[in-house]
């Protein structure tokens, strides 16, 4: 049996952070399986994946040591521990379109997705009945003040022991401050074949350009809007003279299928992200 951790450190850029963390993990007999770091406008972010054998794993001691190190470095720390055979806990972020979250909920009910949907979080109340029907906790977070909303959301995710997030047509832009804390742990669905037509009204953009193939993209969310590593895509041909409403309807069906596929791939541990690209699909 192996135990795993995803460790995130965020703070003002300075030297010695990576060395300090890796040296400490070496002392705990950890195996470092992946490490990514970046600096943006003086802000440092590092995500590290480590594993331990059952004989070497002591969660409380490891967490305590990392917290002490983070305090010394004046960095913010997040640690998620898990076993390879442990079911992950998913948070579904929604707004008011039901097709994508309904597809995830249906797949989970049929046991096609090997994760527990721990909560539905939204900036509106329209989809609260969907959570009630599925017997899932519903959290309403008003995103009019984004910084305060994100702080509250991070607290909820920590309290509910969430492992990853699915943006199922969540129509709010998350800040780099939030996304960095969940690097390669936020799956988003976008209604275009990225990198074409990022941003809002993607179906209308495609329709007005007269494209012949329309599609959707599931990708990891990053600080750059709709520019994250692509996990999966679905597409369909536009019929001659097809109305925008028909394209949107077919696109929503493709979104649902694409998002479910992306979540399945993520849960099968088949995805590795290197230099902004997803490998292993």
Residue 69 half-sphere exposure toward CB, CA atoms < 13 A: 24
- Exactly one of 99, 190, 219, 274 is catalytic; which is it? 190
Question: For the residues of 126-180, what is the DSSP string, one character each?
Answer: TTHHHHHHTT--EEE--TTSHHHHHHHHHHHHHHTT--EEEESS--SPPPHHHHG
Tokens 């399986």, located at residue: 33
**Residue 50: C-alpha distances to residues 22, 32, 185, 219 (Å):** 10, 4, 16, 24
Read off φ and ψ for residue 168, nearest 5 degrees. Answer: -95, 75
Calculate Rg over the CA atoms of the chain: 20
Tokens 């607290």, located at residue: 155
Count Cβ atoms within 10 A of the Cβ of residue 15 and give its class: 0-12 exposed, 13-18 middle, 19 or more buried. exposed
219 counts as catalytic: no
The residues carrying an active-site annotation are 190
């Amino acid at each position: 049996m192996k135990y795993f951790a995803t460790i995130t450190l965020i703070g003002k850029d300075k030297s010695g952070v990576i060395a300090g963390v890796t040296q400490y993990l070496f002392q705990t007999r950890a195996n470092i399986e992946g490490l990514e770091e970046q600096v943006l406008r003086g802000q440092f972010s590092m995500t590290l994946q480590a594993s331990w054998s059952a004989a070497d794993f002591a969660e409380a001691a490891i967490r305590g040591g990392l917290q002490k190190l983070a305090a010394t470095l004046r960095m913010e720390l997040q640690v998620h521990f898990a076993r390879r055979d442990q079911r992950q806990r998913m948070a579904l972020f929604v707004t008011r379109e039901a097709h994508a979250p309904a597809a995830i909920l249906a797949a989970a009910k049929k046991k096609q997705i090997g994760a527990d949907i721990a909560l539905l979080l939204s900036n509106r109340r329209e989809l609260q009945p969907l959570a009630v029907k599925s017997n899932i906790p519903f959290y309403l977070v008003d995103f009019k003040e984004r910084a305060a909303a994100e702080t509250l959301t991070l607290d909820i995710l920590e309290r509910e022991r969430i492992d990853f997030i699915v943006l199922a047509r969540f129509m709010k832009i998350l800040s780099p401050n939030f996304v960095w804390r969940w690097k390669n742990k936020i799956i988003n669905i976008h209604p275009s074949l990225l990198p074409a037509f990022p941003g809002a009204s993607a179906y209308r953009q495609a329709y007005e350009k007269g494209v012949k193939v329309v599609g959707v993209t599931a990708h990891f969310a990053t600080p750059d809007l709709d520019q994250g590593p692509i996990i999966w895509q679905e597409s369909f041909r536009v019929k001659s003279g097809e109305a925008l409403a028909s394209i949107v309807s077919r696109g929503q069906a493709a979104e649902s299928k694409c998002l479910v596929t992306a979540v399945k791939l993520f849960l099968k541990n088949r995805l590795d992200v290197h230099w902004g690209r997803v490998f292993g699909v």
